[in-house]
Amino acid sequence: MSAAAGAPPAWAACDPYTAALRSGRGPLFLRLADGRLLPLDVERWCAAADAVDRAVLARCEGAVLDVGCGPGRLVAELAAQGRTVLGVDVCEAAVTRTVTVGGQALRRSVFGPLPGEGRWGTVLLMDGNIGIGGDPGALLHRMGQLLRSGGLLITETDPADIDERAEARVVRHHRETAGEPFPWARTGTPALLAIADRAGWRTAAQWAAGERRFVALRTPSTRSASSSAEPPKSTAVISSQRPR
């Protein structure tokens, strides 16, 4: 399925993921079609923002959109700093937890309509979320639609030098078959920079912190100027409140 089709990334709505967010702990894995298990760091996601996270957030400019916000540690940290920030996630448990810890969040797919399109100062794709939809090029195109002219995309890349597309499931152990498979991508820094360069993005920075890797990109120069618009604002809703 193409990312541009607008279907929510199924991994974040499956039962093992929801259960892990509610408990705040794993084990939880991304199982690829060839049987490989990639551990998912649920405990870190459900904890408060750490020093590496805070260093990333210090680079944010203007109003911030956290795509695939998960349980909301980054949204909550920015909100505590008095920043304008909104999280979006397709998982009801993620949105509920984000609101509980003090952030604003909407249950939405990034490929569907979102508040403030074309006016966000910074968009975050952390914790492997460059893989959403299984097509980093299509995801970068969508990020360009969300950001203001000259806006900043900060994405966490895979620690390995990899450029992989695969079907995956989220599971608690290697024998589990819960949930439908979904398209996913694993993209290291060299591959992401090549994809971004072809699409006209400008590299603002790349850095490492321990085993984590990050890239900051500026929107393509062909974007029409809209940065004078007011920062986007939204009210958090949970699943029962979202438009049908």
Could you tell me which residues come within 8 angstroms of residue 212 by beta carbon, excluding any fewer than 6 positions away?
52, 156, 159
Could you tell me which residues come within 8 angstroms of residue 62 by beta carbon, excluding any fewer than 6 positions away?
84, 120, 121, 122, 148, 151, 231
pLDDT at 230: 41
193 by DSSP, 3-state: which? helix
Identity of residue 205: A
pLDDT at 180: 77
pLDDT at 177: 67
pLDDT at 94: 95
pLDDT at 178: 65
137, 195 contact by CB (below 8 A): yes
Domain boundary assignment for the chain:
54-164+184-241
Looking at CATH, the fold of the domain delimited by 54-164+184-241 is given as Rossmann fold (3.40.50)
Per-residue model confidence as pLDDT tens digits over 211-234: 999 999 999 865 543 333 344 544
Per-residue model confidence as pLDDT tens digits over 39-66: 999 999 999 999 999 999 999 999 999 9
pLDDT at 131: 96
Length of the chain: 244
CA angle 230, 3, 155 (to 5 degrees): 55
Q: What are the residue ranges in the chain where pLDDT is below 50?
A: 1-14, 224-231, 233-244
